[in-house]
Each structure stands twice: as structure tokens, then as C-alpha cells.
Structure 1
Amino acid sequence: MTWLFCLNNAEDFLKGQWLVMTVYRVPAALLHQIEQELDAEEKETMLFLCRDLVPDLPAANVRKLLVALNEREMLTPVSLSELLYRMKRFDLLKKVLGTGRTAVEASLPRCPQMLSKYRVLMTEINEDLDKEDLSSLVFLLMNDLGTSHVKAAKEKVVNKGRLTNGACAIQAEQIHISVPETGGAQAQVSNKYRMQSQPLGVCLIIDCIGNDAGMLTVTFKALCFEVRCCLFPNVDSLVRELYEVARLKQHKDYDCFVCILVSRGNHQGIFCTNPIVPGFSLERLKNFFTGDACPYLSGKPKLFFIQNYVEPGTWQENPSLLEADGDLCTIPQGADVLWSLSMLNASNMERSQSSSSYYLSALTELLIDPHKRKLHLLDILVELNSKIYEWNRTNPRDQYSVLLKHTLRKKLFLSVS
């Protein structure tokens, strides 16, 4: 059997360099690499997209699916590119096939497509459905598209119940929908946030003191974040930076957002480089990155780490490490937020102008540890609390107070999973 095939690799093919030759099967090592790179949700998506291609496949297994497609000579660099593109694994396009998103998008209108347009459409729609829309969609499909398409829609949206980090994510609860010949089903949801984009997200570092930006930059670059530094801003400059970062289009393709803020201040806000109060309210910080203000971050984890050096005259003792006074700073009420605020009397800085925050130093030490990175972030922060507690016990003059609250809905691992 002969096919139109590429001369050298997928990139050549997508550029239009064609040759008629016998199709050789994709190497098993490459298929194994792709399988290993996919998480459970993505494997479900691949099975759904390819279901019509191997309807006789007895078991829902990605490895068997890829082998079957390969044996039937349905896998080529182009078809694999199409499949990975539809799954939004643009990193694998580059890593495995040596091509990119732009090249695939340019080739799709010109090349015969392997995947069913209907299943591609259902996959894309599913990413933006909430539970009520889901019920309406299945009901409409029952009336208009017939049993086979209803089964496909239900298979994708109900049985799989894929819960992505994007806007309007399906809630993690049971969904019961009556569909002829198949009965009810429950949505299966992931218990961890998707952390697979490259980079994982933007890390905005705002350092009004100047001692920690370098350490933080190295750490979060190592964690595969796109780091953006804002050094010594006044309040007006800070507001402009927050507006600019909140409007970045990259958030659409990224899986997470981190903001780290280091400044002098009081219990209600920070002063930046302005010498006068009231400065910048910490409560305002969350407003730049809510779902309304930044839709691309809706449903994605937003992490805030703040080191506030409280000026003399505004300091209030907080004897308990984890005890939080509601007047200190209220937790952002949106979902998917982690809020970690460390306070230290600013008078402690006078003894060592160039010293880093122990809170931030301990945090970066834990995050960069390859063994700790396998832990859920909240477990890491428990260890951070232990380090702070021990520091306070042995350094009575430098007492850190930590406020930790969150509205995370799933487990979060700060690594590409």
C-alpha cells in the first residue's frame, strides 16, 4: 500500500515536501513515549477521538489503540500531529514529532484529516460546558442527531466528565442523565489540577526591597514558569504592572499563575517604595486576577506568596503561627486561590539590610527539592510552617507570622505532570 508521505520528518511533510512511498509503521518506542507522556484525562480524550477508527477494539486502552492504528497503517507523522494538536499537547508536537502548532494549523485545511469532525467538535465543546449546559446538550442531541451520536456525546461528556482548568469547568459531583439504551452515568473527575503546559504559567515577582528577586527567579524558572520581575515599583507602577500581567494572552495556554510580593507595609496593605500610607491594599491584589477580570485564569490555580515587613507603629502581635486575624487580610473569595502571607516586624531588617526573608528562602528550598516536588503543594506548605515554627523558636527577635488560606478544589503539584 502506498501513501503520500514526508521526506524527512513531520515538519518537512507539513511544509509540503511529499514523496510517494510505502508506509512504514511508526516505531514502537515513539508510541510508547507518547503513551507515557499522557495523563489519565488525556488518554480518555485520545480514546474518544479515535473511537470510530477502531470500533472493533475490545478494550479501552491507549496502548492497544495506538498499536491497532499502527498495524492498520493509519498512523503517520501527519495523523499523529493532528491527534496531538486536537489534544492540545503542543509540547509533544515539538518534542516527539519535531513540528509545532503553527505548522499543524497550516496543514489541516490541506491534508485529509484522520479524526471525525464530530468527535473533535464534541471534545472542544466539552471544555467549555458546565453541568446545566451538559444536560441541555445531551437532550438536544437525543432529538436531532440520533442514538449513535448521543452515545458518542454521552461517552465523551458524561462518562468521562473531563474536568479541565479552563473556564466553566464541570463541578466535581455526580451527574445523572437518562439516555436511551445506555442508562444513567456518573461523571468521573480528576482530583488534581492539570499542570502540563510549557511553561506552566506566569510567575510575577514584585520586589520592593531587593533581596529576594534573584533567588525567586532562579527557583521558578527551574519550576518551568515564565518569570516576570518588577523591581522597586511605587504604587502607581505596581498597579500598571498588575493590569498588564492580568491582560496577558499567554494565560489562555498556561495552567497556573503565581504572584510573589515583597514589600514594607502594614496589616492592610503594602507601601511599595512610597513612604506614605495607605499604600496598596492587599485586598486589591486579588481583584486583578478574578475570573471576571482575567477570564483566561478562571478555573486555574492562582498562588499568592507575600512577604510583608510591617512598619513599627502598625505591628500587632500574633502569638500563634497559624492563627489568623480576619482584619489582617481576607482571603480572595474566588475558587482556585492559595493565599500565603508572611509578616515580620520591619525593624528586624535594620539589623541586616541584605538578608533574605527566611519565609521565602525556606519556601524556595522546599519547592526546588526534587523529592518535595512530588508532594501536593499544601503538604509542602505544612513543612514550611514547621520550618517557620522552628525558626521562631530559635530566633526570638525575628518572629514570623504566617497566614495561610486557600480555596483550591483539587491537589496541586508544581511540576509538569
Structure 2
Amino acid sequence: MALPDQRQLQTINEIAEALCDVERRRLLFLCESLDTDNSVGSLKAMLKSKVMCYERGDLFLKELMLQLRRFDILRKVFKTSKEELERNLTCRQVLPRFRILMANIGEDLVNEDLDNVKFLLTSTLPREKVEKSKNFLDVIIELEKLDIVSPERVDFVENCLQNIGRLDLAKKVTAYKMSVVTSEQHSSQQQKCRAPRPFPPSNSCHPLQQTRRGQSPHSATGIIPAPVYREQNCQSHLDCYKFNTNPRGVCVIIDCVGNDGDADVFWSHCWTDECQLEQGHHRSIYLKALTDALHKGQRRKTHLVAVHTEVNGAIFEHNKRNPGANYHIDLKHTLRKDLYLQ
């Protein structure tokens, strides 16, 4: 989506300034950020980049407040109640279930539990990493970095909780794990009974609009449309698109026109100063982040908007570390359903 409007910016400022240090740390985790800087300024910048990725940015912010149990902010800033928001989120939850589960487990662990978990990890994580982990979410982030834990792999967490005697929490992980398996089986069955209908590529591809003076977009001269399939209804409750990928260039235009004649657009555009591109050693941070996120999203069955959220985070981190070599990113979409890579 486009940049947050003035009202959303004001809302983000009010949220960031109202949260304590622990709440800001938990919010960063829920937003899939690995940033250790949980200052108010850093949180504001992160939330701005996240809101850009959602057509309904307000709903994203409201769900964050719900998970933080800041019902006072829901009432004061968003003029809604916990009960009303929960009804609205019944079929359109935004935040990843895995991160919600881990954050809730972290809330339920007492200090003794955390010490026992850290003791179990002495042979898995470097000692300094274990000592620097102040809470359960810090531990999960370190395990994620080693690819030991992910939304699809929670056995390690389940075993840890069983070993420290927190069988109540281990059962929650087991239930989550079973729901992931059920979802994958449902998706597999859905693919077997669907009837994909390829749409011919458009006769013409619209080039990128004229960019700012002295800046160059990350796009190739030749733009090759990729075949896209829209999911036929197969008695499925999953509200999503699926499409097959055939990437053959730096820039791919996806022309997705449904049976109802409405076009759904997902547009990601990144640009940087031309002087950067002219450097012989230059390697595009955007293309690297996009490639990594797409591969990971395909493997983990993550929908495309969430994939691009990770790209936004990588660009944000790069810009913070390299203020003189900034990238600018713009995301727009009109997706009404989730879109998954196959």
C-alpha cells in the first residue's frame, strides 16, 4: 500500500509512546522483526514500514494492541472494544499464529522456567547468546536464526517445555503443530481437486512510471509476464489465490484477471540513487531481500503480503545501517485474498 496517512502516523506515535520497554520488545517479535533496538523512535519507524504492507493498516495495529492486552489503547485511540475487535478478527487475523503462540508462552513462563529453558540450551546456543537472552522471545529469535525453530518446526520448543515440566504449554504447541499439519493436508487436497485455468499474457506490459531525477528503478529492460492461475472453488474455506512461478528476469509483471473480470494487482517498486548503481561492486539489497523472502515464503507457505513485510524489514535495517546509501520502496496491492507461491 501507499505511505501511511497523517491519521495513521498520529496513531503510530500514540501507540509507541504509550508502550513500556517490555511491550515494545514483544511488539517487535509479533511483527517478525529481529531488531534489538526497541526504542520509541525505532518502533515508530518499524510500524510505519509494516502499515505500508497492509490494505487495512488500522486492523493490523488493532490486533497488535489486542495481543499486548492494551485494551485502553483500543478504546482511547481506535474507539473500539476488545469484544468488537475479536468479532472482526474471526476470519481475518493478520498476525502470524506462530508468533502469537510464542509470545503467549513467553507471558506464561516464570523466571524459574526461563532459567531451566536456558540451561537446556547450553549445548545448542553459544554461551554469550544464552546469557544475553533476557526472556523467552530472545531465546526463540536465536533459535530462529539457526533455523532450529520456525512456524513449521516447533518440535524443539515442544520438547523443551516438556523437559521443564510445563506440560500445559507443551500441549498448546502440540495443538498448533497439529493445526499446521491439518492445514497442509487441506491445501494438498485443494490442489488435487482444483481446475487451474491459465490466462494468456497481456499483449503489452506497462513500464515503470518515470522515476525521480537522478534515481533509477530496479527493473530489467525486458519484462516477461508470468502465467498465473486463479484458484477455483473446491469446497474450500481457504480464502486465497495460488499461482505458479516461472521467474526469468529481474522484473516480473503478474497479470492476474479473475473469472469475474476484476484485476488484482500486487506492485512492488524499489529505487535508489543512480550513483549507487554505477558502482562496480554494487549488489542490490532489494533484489537479495526479495529473492530470499520469496524462497523462504514458498518453502514455509507464507502469503505474499507477509513475504513482502520481510523485504520491507530488510530495507529498513539496511537504511538504518547505511544512511548514505538508502533504498526507497513502494508497495501497492488490491488483493482481496491471500496469495501463496507454489
TM-score bin, normalised by smaller chain: 0.3 to 0.5
TM-score by length of 2: 0.33
Higher RCO structure (Cα 8 Å, ≥6 apart) = 2
The structure with the largest alpha-carbon Rg is: 1
Greater share of residues in strand:
1
TM-score by length of 1: 0.27
